[in-house]
């Protein structure tokens, strides 16, 4: 009996200290504000992981760039001062040029292709590659297909873009796209409302949710449904932090993030039609049928340009081009 009691106490204590040790606080960084695509994924992840870990894992979401811009957030993730982040595809390419591949213009025709590639072995190849820069990349959530807005004139053809000052993300490929199209691309971190309002830039490009959530209809007159880049987020953890977690915890976090991403992609897609309607009602002049073939022809040479010259990057791009034909 005494033995049994000792055993019981020991097991209880181990269980208790195990619980204490499992207490994990995750700082998660975002540059966008509540209601944004990134935030939907982050909030879902928080809900799932806190519930499933019985509160042992806690997520603190730092949104609206309170920890810095996307490049600065990624640097802090590398150092493990921030454990997780949801960051748009663009800024990743200064850390790993492999990230440029998905930002290739007009790569995906539809969501079926997006999901097949990103959730398959080619997407996994990109996620794995990021370990080389100190990121444990868990999965992809989405920003969506990007569209051009500007305040100068309606845009239907590439000629209409000539000389427009367009804000782009901190990304070599995004800059190259707009240069090739004849614009004057200006890299700038998020957010950019003031710069648009004051006319420092003429336009910008982003998915429909951005125009609604950030009220760009107040300050941008023209929108063109260019859908030139499918914009993903990579949902990352600090590799340095990840390696301190046990396998069960890693699995639980990975699963919750993947589910949050699936939820968020669906949520985002289901709202696009209503968003377009709303933006028109708010007075934006929308070109729904731009000459996409002309845009595509102009940027067709990009795959042979310097931004893709790394053989590893070139190889992944060619594989995805083949798979999305
Ligand atoms: O997610 O910087 C960008 O243009 C991003 O797409 C923006 O943060 C919205």
What tokens appear for 175 in the block?
């800059």
Measured in whole angstroms, the distance separating CA 189 from the mean position of its chain's CA atoms is: 14
d(CA 241, CA 47): 21
**Tokens 């590659």, residue located:** 129
Around ligand 1, the residues with Cβ closer than 6 Å are 31-32, 88, 143, 169, 190, 206, 210, 231
Q: What's the start-to-end Cα distance of the chain, in Å? A: 72
Question: Ligand 1: distance of its center to the CA of 231 in Å?
Answer: 9
**Helices 121-129, 311-323: crossing angle, 10 deg rounding:** 160
Domains recognised in the chain with CATH numbers: 24-323 (3.40.190.170)
Alpha-carbon distance values, 247 to 46, 134, 253 (Å): 19, 18, 10
Q: Would you say 302 and 165 are in contact if contact means Cβ atoms under 8 Å apart?
A: no
Peptide bond into 191 cis (omega under 30): yes
d(CA 64, CA 44): 17
Which of 39, 102, 143, 209 has the most ligand 1 atoms within 8 A of CB, as the residue to mutate? 143
d(CA 193, CA 171): 19
pLDDT by residue for the chain (325 residues), tens only, comes to 455 555 544 444 444 444 445 699 999 999 999 999 999 999 999 999 999 999 999 999 999 999 999 999 999 999 999 999 999 999 999 999 999 999 999 999 999 999 999 999 999 999 999 999 999 999 999 999 999 999 999 999 999 999 999 999 999 999 999 999 999 999 999 999 999 999 999 999 999 999 999 999 999 999 999 999 999 999 999 999 999 999 999 999 999 999 999 999 999 999 999 999 999 999 999 999 999 999 999 999 999 989 999 999 999 999 999 999 9
Question: Ligand 1: distance of its center to the CA of 58 in Å?
Answer: 26
Which of 85, 90, 206 has the most ligand 1 atoms within 8 A of CB, as the residue to mutate? 206
Question: Ligand 1: distance of its center to the CA of 30 in Å?
Answer: 10
Question: Ligand 1: distance of its center to the CA of 290 in Å?
Answer: 22
């Amino acid at each position: 009996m005494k033995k049994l009691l000792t055993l019981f106490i020991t097991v209880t204590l181990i269980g208790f200290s195990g619980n204490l040790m499992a207490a994990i606080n995750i700082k998660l960084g975002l540059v966008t504000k509540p209601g944004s695509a990134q935030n939907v994924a982050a909030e879902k992840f928080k809900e799932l992981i806190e519930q499933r870990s019985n509160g042992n894992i806690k997520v603190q979401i730092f949104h609206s760039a309170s920890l810095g811009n996307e490049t600065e957030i990624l640097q802090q993730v590398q150092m493990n001062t921030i454990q997780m982040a949801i960051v748009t595809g663009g800024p990743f390419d200064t850390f790993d040029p492999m990230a440029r591949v998905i930002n290739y213009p007009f790569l995906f025709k539809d969501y079926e292709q997006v999901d097949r590639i990103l959730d398959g072995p080619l997407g996994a190849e990109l996620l794995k590659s990021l370990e080389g820069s100190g990121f444990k990349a868990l999965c992809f959530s989405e920003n969506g297909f990007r569209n051009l807005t500007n305040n100068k004139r309606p845009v239907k053809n590439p000629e209409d873009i000539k000389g427009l000052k367009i804000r782009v993300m901190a990304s070599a490929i995004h800059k190259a796209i707009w240069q090739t199209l004849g614009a004057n691309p200006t890299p700038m971190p998020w957010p950019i409302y003031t710069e648009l309002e004051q006319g420092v830039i003429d336009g910008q490009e982003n998915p429909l949710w951005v125009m609604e959530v950030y009220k760009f209809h107040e300050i941008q007159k023209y929108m063109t449904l260019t859908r030139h880049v499918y914009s993903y987020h990579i949902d990352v953890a600090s590799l340095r932090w990840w390696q301190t977690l046990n396998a069960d915890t890693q699995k639980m976090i990975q699963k919750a993030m993947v589910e949050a991403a699936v939820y968020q992609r669906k949520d985002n897609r289901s709202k696009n039609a209503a968003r377009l309607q709303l933006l028109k009602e708010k007075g934006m002049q929308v070109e729904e049928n731009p000459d996409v073939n002309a845009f595509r022809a102009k940027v067709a040479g990009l795959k042979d340009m310097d931004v893709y010259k790394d053989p590893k990057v070139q190889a992944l791009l060619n594989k995805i081009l083949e798979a999305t034909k």
